Amino acid sequence: MLLVFLPRETNRTKYTFSLILGKLLGIDYQITTDADVYRTRVGPKFSYGRVAPDDSLHFGADNLLFQRGIDSLETGFGHHEGLPVLFRSSNQKSALPFDLFAAAFYMVSRYEEYLPYRRDEFGRFSARESLAFKKGFLHRPVVNLWAMLLRDELLRRWPSLKMKLPVYRCEPTVDIDSAFSYKHKGFLRSVGGFARNLRQLDFQQAVVRAKVLAGTMPDPFDVFEQFHQLHQRLGLEAVYFVLFADYGRLDKNIPVQNYPFRMLVKSLADYARVGIHPSYASNSGFNTLRREVTRLNQLLNSEITLSRQHFLKLDLPVTYRNLINLNIAHDYTMGFAADAGFRAGICVPYPFYDLDLDTVTPLTIHPFTVMDGTMKDYLNLDNQQAVEFACRLADEVKAVGGVFSTLWHNETHSETGRWTGWSEVYRQILEHASS
């Protein structure tokens, strides 16, 4: 067992050491605040603090993990062995020239998102506001990489120290913003669609719409069997997030009372995990969110425990507190719309730490790595560039034994309009990621 000395234990230190030592390195460890116990220990050990209690392995500490509250911080950005680091340390006794525990906590707690920031058009914390984007390390899972530095330091001194490192896996996730392109939308929406096609002189789409509604052509968004066959062939377990909300300006799925739509959702739950895709409107009212979750609970006759916010609308800590109050145990929103990579600097699921309350919560955050719309609409990548970009990110995740999580939409798989060729993009990405 590894012994760790701290000058004092806080919720932040317990959370961070559990994440780094327990989850990322799989080390059996114990924390002590008794300097005499630590000094007399023979075997694997290290100390963390401003002052080293003896001449054994020591890591210099910033004050972040020993304080409460939220303040503007000097993050001390720099590099070590070619790796971006935060909270650089001048402590001569420190085995590393930065406080990796404070750096990890800063990233995974999303500390910067509790500070004042400029919101994007949808009221979100955007990629460009993040330190990772500004300093150029958004595309690297730095928290996992920092844990690898700690691993190397420990094994250099105690080669027989037992560790159980995480195992890489690929997890495809699919957001169902609109289950069907033309079918089951109701008379008024269908008529409005025809009118829009004619007004825009888009006669080809009007013809397709007519054929789909007449039943002579399949709906282009109904690609769920194709998803299932691909995921099954590659041995991947997918997660589907269903927008099960009232119609609104930014929430335009099929009416929740529609029988074919309800049967589709039930069929998905037969072979995959299904979660709620809370509507954009639900961000302005807890009762709206509760109604959507309750509806899906009742349809599937089981408690919904998975979620991802529509439009990736995440407002910390309010969004997560609302989910916790509805017994949501796993959220998959952690990622940016405008860029891919690692919003929290990490590529494994981890517990949400509520900075306002300074406590760990029962909600597990599942970061995603790359989204279809990010590559197409924000990064303006063509099909081949998108494959290469996503595969590079997958390789970053493979190198640290993380979870490569893709965010796709059924619309993207439709092979229509601007998404022509993107079913092949998806196939190539998943084949590379699952190999």
pLDDT band at 292 (very low <50, low <70, confident <90, very high): very high
- pLDDT score of 191: 52
SS3 83: strand
Q: Angle of helix 422-434 relative to helix 224-233, nearest 10 degrees?
A: 20
123 and 249 together in one domain: no
298 and 394 together in one domain: yes
270 and 201 together in one domain: no
Specify if 240 maps to a domain.
yes
Q: What is the pLDDT of residues 62-73, one digit of tens each?
A: 999 999 999 999
- pLDDT score of 138: 98
177 and 189 together in one domain: no
Q: What is the mean pLDDT of residues 57-66?
A: 96
137 and 268 together in one domain: no
Domain of residue 228, CATH code: 3.20.20.370
392 and 416 together in one domain: yes
Q: What is the pLDDT of residues 75-104, one digit of tens each?
A: 999 999 999 999 998 888 999 999 999 999
**Which sign, positive or negative, has the C-alpha torsion 411, 416, 417, 423?**
positive
Specify if 162 maps to a domain.
no
Specify if 209 maps to a domain.
yes
- pLDDT score of 192: 53
**Domain ranges, residue 312:** 169-181+219-434
Specify if 133 maps to a domain.
yes
Specify if 163 maps to a domain.
no
Q: What is the pLDDT of residues 210-268, one digit of tens each?
A: 666 667 768 899 999 999 999 999 999 999 999 999 989 999 889 999 999 999 999 99
Q: What is the pLDDT of residues 356-392, one digit of tens each?
A: 999 999 999 999 999 999 999 999 999 999 999 999 9
Specify if 306 maps to a domain.
yes
Q: What is the pLDDT of residues 25-45, one digit of tens each?
A: 999 999 999 999 999 999 999
Q: What is the pLDDT of residues 298-345, one digit of tens each?
A: 999 999 999 999 999 999 999 999 999 999 999 999 999 999 999 999
Specify if 291 maps to a domain.
yes
188 and 334 together in one domain: no
Specify if 9 maps to a domain.
yes
405 and 288 together in one domain: yes
198 and 236 together in one domain: no
Whether 206 shows a pLDDT value over 60: the answer reads no
pLDDT band at 186 (very low <50, low <70, confident <90, very high): low
294 and 410 together in one domain: yes
377 and 362 together in one domain: yes
Q: What is the mean pLDDT of residues 192-198?
A: 58
Find the distance separating the first CA and the last CA of the chain, reported in whole Å: 35
Distances (CA, A) of 62 to 78, 89, 97, 246, 272: 15, 8, 11, 48, 44
Q: What is the pLDDT of residues 149-163, one digit of tens each?
A: 999 999 999 999 999
- pLDDT score of 99: 97
- Residue 105 forms beta bridges with which residues? none
Of the candidates 360, 371, 391, the residue with the CA atom closest to the CA atom of residue 23: 360
**Mean of the per-residue pLDDT values of the chain:** 94
SS3 63: coil
User: Domain count of the chain?
Assistant: 3
201 and 177 together in one domain: no
- pLDDT score of 327: 97
For residue 98, the tally of other CB atoms under 10 A from its CB is 26
